[in-house]
Amino acid sequence: MNPTDLIGPASPLGNPAPFWFITFFKVLGLILHMIPMNVWFAGMILVAVFSTFGKNHSLELAHRLSRTMPAVVALGINLGIVPLLFTQVGYYQFYYPAGVLMARAWFSVIVILLFAYYGVYVYSLSVRSNRRTKFALTSAWISSIAFVLISFLFANNFSLMANVNDWIHIYTRTSESGAALGTGLNTADPTLIPRWLMMFGIAITTTAVFIVFDAVFFKRKDTSDNYRKWAGKFAFAFYTLGIVVYAVMGSWYVFGALGESVLNPIGQSSFMKILFPLTAISPGLVWIALFAQRKGLRKATTITAGTLQVFVITLNAVSRQWVQNEEIFKFKDVSQLPVQVQWSPMIVFLLLFVIGLTVVGWMIAKIAEVEKRGAEEIQVK
Ligand code: HEM
């Protein structure tokens, strides 16, 4: 059997939208998903660790993070649907075979996510009601471990999509009478671990910026100057840790795991010659912004750091897409499939996307308003 035999057949209907449209929304969706996902990925670990071992400011940080976490998780999961839809539309010939090979682990995400989500709520409610029981603390730990597990499964699925040469081995190992049992994982792929942990590095950096944002803009009336100072210093140290993880894992991923067949075309593209190094060094700009305010937080610098972090995430999302296309197109260039524009679903999607983002923007504005006026005042009204 040829490895490419397992690639799914192309739909006779062709692509329902031009490939640039599919790619644009896939990348935009990943950016929108990554921002909150990063905060719960690294943030829930902080919540669990500082709630157990923390004192004073570190304990306060854990409580503050857990206050906002339910909203962050709800946003991030919903926004994750956008890149998922466009992956399924544009890359179905690769996405579904990978999903079939690791179907059990892939489906288990739903169950694990329930534990993660409820854990976030249980701990958040316990902090809000000032009743931190052992059960609540255990829930925070379960939630943080569940998020790490899910992130590992996501990294598996999205790396397996492009690891076509290994499909056949996984299939042979995990099939019975020709039927795939769905018990595979992509653990033999050298890109898996660095890719997964590189995302963890970015997650640490985004969480560090979120900590500063939270200290400057959220729960303002109850935030002491002492806490703000501490948060600035801690965020800077945490960001530094994130950069180290990102740099080590990123170097391992690019120079040690991605093969020549992916790197060579990237090296020949003048766009990527600029984008790749920029993606590598971009966190340095945010680091400077956090360094500048490690002795005292300022609104303008915090907004600059936040904007630059969105830029870091955007560069990463675009670079990842470029790499994914190089990896996949060498087996089959799915961008060349015929296009038959399906106008009605496209218009419905665009309308709902704009309405959805407007509602999300409105909800965030409401949360910001509550935070600004102080929870007590709102309750009195
Ligand atoms: C259930 C709701 C979720 C959906 C629909 C979703 C969707 C997605 C999609 C489609 C991607 C890949 C995007 C792309 O490559 O263009 C992705 C990436 C990722 N997601 Fe989520 N996600 C969800 C929840 C989570 C959770 C709970 C975590 C836990 C931390 C998580 C962690 C990740 C990670 C680490 C990646 C990068 C994987 C890689 O490409 O190596 N996601 N997500």
> Is the CB–ligand 1 distance for residue 94 below 6 Å?
no
Pick the closest to residue 64 from 212, 236, 204 (CA basis): 212
> Is the CB–ligand 1 distance for residue 84 below 6 Å?
yes
The token duo for 25 is: 């929304």
pLDDT number for residue 381: 39
CB-CB contact of 261 with 180 (8 Å): no
All residues at 6 or more sequence positions from 165 whose CB lies less than 8 Å from its CB, including other chains: 3
Segment (H or E) for 308 = helix 299-329
CB-CB contact of 47 with 64 (8 Å): no
Give the relative orientation of helices 299-329 and 270-281 as an angle to the nearest 10 degrees. Answer: 140
CA distance 327 to 3: 14
> Is the CB–ligand 1 distance for residue 26 below 6 Å?
yes
pLDDT number for residue 321: 97
Pick the closest to residue 56 from 225, 217, 230, 218 (CA basis): 230
The bridge status of strand 179-180 relative to strand 175-176 is antiparallel
Protein residue with its CA nearest to atom 34 in ligand 1: 151
> Is the CB–ligand 1 distance for residue 87 below 6 Å?
yes
The token duo for 230 is: 């501490």
Question: Burial of 270 by CB count in 10 Å (0-12 exposed, 13-18 middle, 19+ buried)?
Answer: exposed
pLDDT number for residue 374: 59
CA distance 278 to 258: 18
Cα first-last separation, the chain: 70
Protein residue with its CA nearest to atom 39 in ligand 1: 155
CA distance 166 to 325: 18
CB-CB contact of 372 with 220 (8 Å): yes
> Is the CB–ligand 1 distance for residue 325 below 6 Å?
no
Residue ranges covered by each domain of the chain: 17-341, 342-381
CA dihedral 162, 164, 168, 171 (to 10 degrees): 20
Helices (H) and strands (E) in the chain, counts: 14, 2
Distance 154 CA to ligand 1 centre (A): 5
> Is the CB–ligand 1 distance for residue 199 below 6 Å?
yes
pLDDT in tens, the chain (381 residues): 788 899 999 999 999 999 999 999 999 999 999 999 999 999 999 999 999 999 999 999 999 999 999 999 999 999 999 999 999 999 999 999 999 999 999 999 999 999 999 999 999 999 999 988 999 999 999 999 999 999 999 999 999 999 999 999 999 999 999 999 999 999 999 999 999 999 999 999 999 999 999 999 887 778 899 999 999 999 999 999 999 999 999 999 999 999 898 999 888 999 999 999 999 999 999 999 999 998 889 999 999 999 999 999 999 999 999 999 999 999 999 999 999 999 999 999 999 999 999 999 999 888 878 877 655 544 443
Segment (H or E) for 239 = helix 225-251
Segment (H or E) for 3 = none
CB-CB contact of 98 with 157 (8 Å): yes
Which ligand 1 atom is at minimum distance from the Cα of 196?
41
CB-CB contact of 22 with 15 (8 Å): yes
pLDDT number for residue 192: 98
**Block residue for tokens 């790749």:** 276
